[in-house]
Amino acid sequence: MTTKFVRIAAVIISLSLFALAQAGQPAATPAAEPDAPSAAAAAALKATGTKVGTINIEQAIFSSNEGQRDFQALSKKFEPKQNELKNAADEIDSLKKQLNAQQDKLNDEARDKALKQIESKQKSFDRASQDAQEDFQGQQGEIGNRILTKMAPLIVKYATDNGYGMILDTSQQWPRGPVIWYGPAVDITQPVVEAYNVQSGVPAPPKPAAGAVTKPVPTTGTPGTKPAAPATKPPATTPPKQ
C-alpha cells in the first residue's frame, strides 16, 4: 500500500504544483492542454525556496483527524469478520490438537478423515482470510487516496510558503525509499497534519478502547503508525506421520 500511496502522491502533488503555478495568470487563448507532469515540472522550477524537507505521507493521512475517524469506522465495520476469522482459526487449532493427542488411538481411516477435515477447513479459512484482507486494504486505500487528494495542495502551499524547494516522502525506509537519514527539524508531517485538521474541520475522534481490533501497528523505521490489515492466522502444527 505504501508504494501505491507514493505513486499517487507524486501525481497529485505534481498536479497541485501545476495548478498553483497557473493561479493568478491572465487568461489566454485556448490552446492544446499541456501535459500535466511536464507543466508541473516547469512550475517546480519557478519555486524560490532552497530548503529540503520531508513528510511521511502515510502518517500524515492516517494521523489526521479525518484519517483517524474514517479508519476507526472501517475497523469497526470489519470487527464481525475479524471475530469470524478468529473463531475459524481457533476451531482449526483445536482440531489439530485433538488429532495430535488421539493419533495413536485412531485407525488409518479415521486419521485420514480427520486430516481431510482439517485441510478443508484450512483452505476455506485461507480463502476467507485473503478475501477479507484484500477487501480491508482496498477500502483503506480508498480512504487514503481521498484524503491525499485534498491534502496534496496544502502540502504544496505549505512548502512554497515556508521556503522549501524539495519535499521527500519518508513513508518507506531506505533502500525502498529515497531517504537514507533525516532529522526531525526538516520533517513537515506534523504541521501539515495540523493545517489539514483546521482545513477539514473534523474534530479529533475519541481514542479506541484498549484491545480494539485492527489497532495501528508501528511503522518500521519511521515515526507514527499505519493501520494493520485484519487477518488472523492459526498456529501451525505438524500433521501426524502416516
What distance in Å separates the CA atoms of residue 121 and residue 129, rounded to the nearest whole number?
12
Chain segment 44-85, per-residue pLDDT in tens: 556 678 899 999 999 999 999 999 999 999 999 999 999 999
Of residues 238 and 209, the one with the higher pLDDT is 209
Of residues 25 and 205, the one with the higher pLDDT is 205
Determine, yes or no, domain membership for 170: no
Percent of the chain at pLDDT > 70 equals 66
pLDDT band of 10, cuts 50, 70, 90: low
Q: Rounded mean pLDDT of 84-100? A: 95
The domain of 112 spans 2-22+35-159+190-226
Determine, yes or no, domain membership for 207: yes
Of residues 217 and 106, the one with the higher pLDDT is 106
Reply yes or no on whether the pLDDT at 147 is more than 80: yes
215, 208 contact by CB (below 8 A): yes
What distance in Å separates the CA atoms of residue 176 and residue 203, rounded to the nearest whole number?
34
| Confidence (pLDDT) at 128 | 96
Determine, yes or no, domain membership for 176: no
Closest-CA residue to 206 (of 76, 96, 104, 103):
76
pLDDT band of 12, cuts 50, 70, 90: low
| Confidence (pLDDT) at 170 | 94
Q: How many domains would you assign to the chain?
A: 1
Mean pLDDT, the chain, whole residue set: 77
Determine, yes or no, domain membership for 14: yes
Determine, yes or no, domain membership for 183: no
Chain segment 176-197, per-residue pLDDT in tens: 888 999 999 999 999 999 999 9
Of residues 61 and 212, the one with the higher pLDDT is 61
Reply yes or no on whether the pLDDT at 236 is more than 60: no
Determine, yes or no, domain membership for 107: yes
What distance in Å separates the CA atoms of residue 157 and residue 219, rounded to the nearest whole number?
27
92, 98 contact by CB (below 8 A): no
| Confidence (pLDDT) at 234 | 41
| Range with lowest mean pLDDT among 71-80, 150-159, 229-238 | 229-238
| Confidence (pLDDT) at 49 | 82
Determine, yes or no, domain membership for 233: no
Closest-CA residue to 237 (of 91, 97, 90):
97
Angle, CA of 238, 240 and 242, to the nearest 5°: 140
